């Protein structure tokens, strides 16, 4: 597995914690920043991760900001991305198993590092269950296609 990882300044410390977890687990990842708590714009970093996942250069992505909301909104603007904001392990598992979420978003100001590690581990270990869920994910893709055609 190859993970694209990024945060803004509000999620920097949490991203560093997750990078440590990925390294400990031997999971390949690329850190796209931020590289300090100096202010940066979260849409820029969310776009880098989302495009990397969409292109297939990365299997999945993880994004952090203060709440996890901004990076989720920005990443979900990229067709084919299903970014899920998760602050508990139940949601993290369901995001993968039911929604085939390919990006996980987390909020540093919402959860602590221990819970974040549990959420990331749960999300990385979970797999899409397909079946009835595949039809629903296909409907999400159809919505994207409908509006991509109209906006051109």
Sequence-separated (6 or more) residues with CB below 8 Å from residue 95: 84, 86, 101, 104, 123, 126
* 3-class DSSP state of 82: coil
C-alpha Rg value of the chain to the nearest Å: 15
User: Active-site residue among 9, 64, 65, 86?
Assistant: 65
User: Active-site residue among 98, 100, 133, 150?
Assistant: 98
Q: Phi and psi dihedrals of 4, rounded to 5?
A: -95, 130
Q: Note if 64 is an active site residue.
A: no
Q: How far apart are CA 8 and CA 86, in angstroms?
A: 17
Taking the CA atoms of residue 26, residue 8, residue 95 and residue 31 in that order, the dihedral angle to the nearest 10 degrees is -20
* In contact, 52 and 28? CB cutoff 8 Å: no
Q: Note if 98 is an active site residue.
A: yes
Q: Which residues are catalytic?
A: 65, 98
């Amino acid at each position: 597995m190859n993970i694209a990882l990024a945060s803004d300044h509000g999620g920097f410390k949490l991203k560093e914690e997750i990078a440590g977890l990925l390294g400990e687990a031997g999971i390949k990842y690329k850190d796209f920043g931020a590289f300090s708590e100096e202010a940066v714009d979260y849409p820029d970093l969310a776009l880098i991760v989302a495009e990397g996942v969409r292109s297939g250069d990365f299997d999945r992505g993880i994004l952090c900001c203060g709440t996890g909301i901004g990076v989720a909104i920005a990443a979900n603007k990229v067709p084919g991305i299903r970014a899920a904001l998760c602050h508990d392990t139940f949601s993290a598992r369901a995001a993968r198993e039911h929604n085939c979420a390919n990006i996980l978003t987390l909020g540093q100001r919402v959860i602590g590092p221990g819970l974040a590690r549990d959420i990331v581990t749960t999300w990385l270990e979970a797999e899409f269950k397909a079946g009835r869920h595949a039809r629903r994910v296909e409907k999400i893709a159809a919505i994207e296609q409908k509006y991509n055609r109209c906006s051109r």
